[in-house]
Amino acid sequence: MPDKLLELKNDLVFQKLFGKPKNSQITAHFLSLILNRKIHNIDLDVNKRMLGNRKDSKTGKLDIRAKFNNGEDCNIELQVIPYEYMSSRMLEYWAEMYDYKINSGQDYATLKPSISILITDYKLKELANIDKYHTIWNLREATYKDIILTNNLELHILEIPKINNNEIPRDELVQWLKFIENPENKEVEKFMEENRFLKQAREELAYLSGEPDFQQEVKDRARFLRDVYLMKQAALKGGREEGLAEGRAEGRAKGRAEGRAEGRAEGRAEGRAEGKKEKQVEIAKKLKDKNISIEEIIEITELSKEEIENL
């Protein structure tokens, strides 16, 4: 075993471990715990067919696509960088996957469920008031909440930081999330005595950690993720500082005419928005120069596709 195992919180390592056909039984076990049902006939080769050229190991999206149980589709994403509008992003990924299922003239009865699974290394602000680490989302009637309109839409969100609450039972799913959080955790080693799939995953991870070429790919990916994070922070900071400067100036001018407090508040808001927008555009131009995909630029800058294409 290498001196140090690769971090599974690097999405390239996560994709390599759970997305390889030879590890299909490991992935099936993991999915069965998330979806709370038996998984059979799992096909991970679907990754190549459905993700196309979006699997660039350095800059692309590294989701895992799986097809199982005679037609159900699943998209699994590990996200270590917080993004705004994550719920909308999940829904868009689900819609893309669901649209892939049917061609013109086909019967709607042939449609099978599509499932999106998001695993985050941070807490989602939308779920700040929910202590559960694993939430499940469907289409339900507003009053009759026990009635689901269709089983074809299913979203799962798993927030790793929430498993560190001591009141949460250490069931098998928590064991897996502990493994993803830190494969070398002593608690994980204890879990492996009872969970053979977890043990197999640890052995596969040790094998990957010993491949020099893959280690370099992982370093490149980690560097890219760090750059993305720093760019997002720079966009926020730049927008905030420019906004404050413009806001103070405009606020003082308006304040003399309309009242200092109201003018400053309005000036800060307008200046902050304009400053942030300019920074987003500046970062988008740099990313385009590096041939980053439009999908990634949208996620990083939060600009629209049309705005990016018009740069």
Neighbours of 56 (CB within 10 A): 15
Using DSSP, state whether 137 is helix, strand or coil. Answer: strand
Q: Write out pLDDT tens, residues 67-115.
A: 999 889 999 999 988 877 788 888 888 988 888 777 656 678 778 899 9
**Contact indicator for 162, 132 with CB cutoff of 8 Å:** yes
For residue 176, name the pLDDT band (cuts at 50, 70, 90): very high
Determine the longest span between alpha carbons in the chain, in angstroms.
73
Q: Write out pLDDT tens, residues 183-232.
A: 998 888 889 888 999 999 999 999 999 999 999 999 988 888 788 778 77
- The answer to which of 27-31, 43-47, 67-71 has the lowest mean pLDDT is 43-47
**Contact indicator for 42, 22 with CB cutoff of 8 Å:** no
Global confidence as pTM: 0.76
Helix, strand, coil tally for the chain in percent (to 5): 60, 10, 30
User: How wide is the angle at C-alpha 53 spanned by C-alphas 49 and 54, nearest 5°?
Assistant: 100
Structure tokens at 189: 């080693």
Residues 6+ apart with CB under 8 A from 309: 294
- What is the mean pLDDT of the segment spanning 141-153? 93
Q: Mean pLDDT in the chain?
A: 83
pLDDT at 229: 76
Domain ranges of the chain: 11-210, 216-309
Closest alpha carbon to 178 in 8, 6, 5, 299: 8
User: How wide is the angle at C-alpha 174 spanned by C-alphas 94 and 76, nearest 5°?
Assistant: 20
What single string gives the DSSP state of each residue in 188-223?
HHHHTTT-HHHHHHHHHHHHHHT-HHHHHHHHHHHH
